[in-house]
Amino acid sequence: PTPEPTLAPTSSPVELPVGGSADTPAPTLGPTPSPTLGPTPSPTLGPTPNPTPKPSASPSNMPSIERSDVPSPSPSNRPSAVVSASPSDTPTDGPTPLPCIRPDQVTYNCGNTITVNFDFEDALPDDWIGIYPCDTTTYLHSEVWQWACGAPGCTTAVNEGTIVFDGLPTYNGSGPHTWPIAPYVAPDTNVNRCFKAVYLREDGPSVPPYVQECESIDFIIQEDQDSPDCAIRPRNDNAIGNSED
């Protein structure tokens, strides 16, 4: 036996759990399968100080009344009303052949060397090349001339070559020829500066006039009023080629 008797019972019974009873009808629920989430790293934002604005009465960027880049009433680059010419049934001729005689320039100063190149298939040994005013159509004496073969007394024709005019050849002494070639006053009182090189030959016992086989394009000779030999001169129709008028 204990040396002292057990404590006396309490004057009031032990309090029961809240909502419980002396005899629970069922055991309490077990723990949740996973622990609850921890707190967020930042606190949740509080409400905005002002309420959100109401939507506008009209939507922003309303489309324009008219569309941009409206097509023009007529198409650009409308085809022409007339159809382009169709190719001809017959091919055109080849390129225009060059004249048989050609100067090396189109403009010279009085006294400059005048070089002409020639290419004439039907050449004869006594053909020659002279320089005439552009309006010449009847070929009498030239301003200056040279044998196409290069020298007097040729027995062989030269079909192509180069002639250089830089003075009067000795055989030009028999006619009213001149060097340097200067512009002159024409019968209409205008100053003529236009000249051409002409490929010629004798034809028949009574010459001149001489027969023109071909001629060059026109070229210009400019005067030099400071030089007596190159100043504008009067024209002597008996000394140089005559036109038909």
For the residues of 92-120, what is the DSSP string, one character each? PP-PPPPPSEEES-SEEETT--EEEEEE-
* Pairing of β 114-119 and β 160-165: antiparallel
Q: How many Cα atoms occupy the beta-carbon half-sphere of 125 within 13 Å?
A: 5
What pLDDT is recorded for position 31?
Answer: 64
Q: What are phi and psi of 170, to 5 degrees?
A: -60, -30
What pLDDT is recorded for position 178?
Answer: 93
What pLDDT is recorded for position 55?
Answer: 63
Q: What are phi and psi of 172, to 5 degrees?
A: -80, -5
Contact 110, 230 (CB under 8 A): yes
What pLDDT is recorded for position 208?
Answer: 84
d(CA 102, CA 115): 8
> What pLDDT digit, counting tens, does each position of 94-127 carry?
666 678 999 999 999 999 999 999 999 999 999 9
What pLDDT is recorded for position 206?
Answer: 65
What is the DSSP secondary structure assignment for residue 238, as one 8-state letter?
T
Contact 138, 243 (CB under 8 A): yes
What pLDDT is recorded for position 202?
Answer: 84
Q: How many Cα atoms occupy the beta-carbon half-sphere of 143 within 13 Å?
A: 25
What pLDDT is recorded for position 174?
Answer: 78
What pLDDT is recorded for position 96?
Answer: 62
What pLDDT is recorded for position 173?
Answer: 83
Instruction: Work out the number of other CB atoms within 10 angstroms of the CB of residue 199.
Output: 24
Mean pLDDT by 10 residues, the chain (245 residues): 57 52 55 63 66 64 59 60 62 69 98 97 95 96 95 93 96 89 95 98 80 96 96 72 43
E-only strand ranges, 140-242: 144-147, 160-165, 184-185, 191-192, 194-201, 211-215, 219-222, 233-234
What pLDDT is recorded for position 207?
Answer: 74
**Chain centre distance of CA 132:** 39
